[in-house]
Amino acid sequence: MGFKCGIVGLPNVGKSTLFNALTQTAAAQAANYPFCTIEPNVGEVAVPDPRLDELARHGKSAQIIPTRLTFVDIAGLVRGASKGEGLGNQFLANIREVDAIAHVVRCFEDDDVTHVEGKIDPVADIETIETELMLADLDSLEKRVVALEKKAKGGDKDSKELLDLMMRALVLLREGKPARLVERRPEEEKAFAGLGLLSSKPVLYVCNVEEGSAATGNSASAKVAQRAKEEGERSVVISAKIESEIAVLPLDERKDYLDAVGLTEPGLDRLIREGYALLGLITYFTVGPKETRAWTITAGTKAPAAAGVIHTDFEKGFIRAETIAYADFVAHGGEAGAREAGKLRLEGKDYVVADGDVMHFRFAN
């Protein structure tokens, strides 16, 4: 199950520096984790999770395999991208392929790095990119709605329902609001996703600040955080320059460097975790002598589908899931202790997996 977060931003905001730090991090992880792969514009990184070390210690596991998240470096955007300006067409095509957007905005002053708009205004930068996405969506929907109206008038029930959804999106877009704000019922989610609207993607604002503000942020990043709060989105403060320096340091030197710049962890760790949360993802674990492994599922997934992430046969032949909450697994020293304390539960097909569950699936061949 692959989840992709696209990194976007105007030119000279630090997007490439940030992505390079991510890919360097992925390259360093490849020595420890067998799944890491890197392509020119794709970095697949482990999701930091301190629970893995605790579980592996209690399970006496020989290997730790974290879950992962893919970041895609998307071509830079300029004003007019919706009309094909710059690399506009490539930019829009790439965004369609990702599940969420990490929008890098410049929150630092540097006379040596010019700003494409001539001034530092992260909120205006956000509006530039969002406007291009909304214009592309508006154009797409207006082209499709005419044909759909004919089908709906002919009595086609599915067309009527889809048309209603499209019209709700059009109303918002014409008001200058992104499609992700469309009010919709849970049963409409699949049809809404099928519209392929660029402005419907969840957004994480990444505030790229100067080194001195990496721990606390600055006035520019505070404006972005306020906007994110108003939209119900997320934001994270990061110094791409610091992250690029951390990424190439040996592991045993990183803590001293972090202490020196006033950070408790790399900003990339926060970025990865926020991207994971943005996608509505949670983690469950399998623990044994061979390995402790994290598995990614969407929140609300039931036990059989969660088992299917490991292997489709597990879902098809699902019988039950032996389940221990993470806190109980650790508190009682592992599976045997949790079992003796009555903390191991047998869950059936309707069980909704919780973040941190340690699971063992029983299935029929």
Q: How far apart are the first and last CA of the chain?
A: 23
The CA distance from 293 to 180, in Å, is 33
Q: Which residue has the tokens 């509006």?
A: 127
Phi and psi at 295, nearest 5°, equal -125, 140
The CA distance from 261 to 49, in Å, is 23
Residues paired with residue 206 on neighbouring β-strands, in sequence order: 104, 236
Residue 173 host element (H or E):
helix 157-174
Q: Residue 14 annotated as binding?
A: yes
The CA distance from 33 to 116, in Å, is 39
DSSP string, 116-136: TTSS--HHHHHHHHHHHHHHH
The CA distance from 162 to 147, in Å, is 12
The CA distance from 80 to 91, in Å, is 12
The CA distance from 4 to 97, in Å, is 8
Q: Residue 12 annotated as binding?
A: yes
- Name the binding residues: 12-17
Q: Which residues are annotated as a binding site for ATP?
A: 12-17
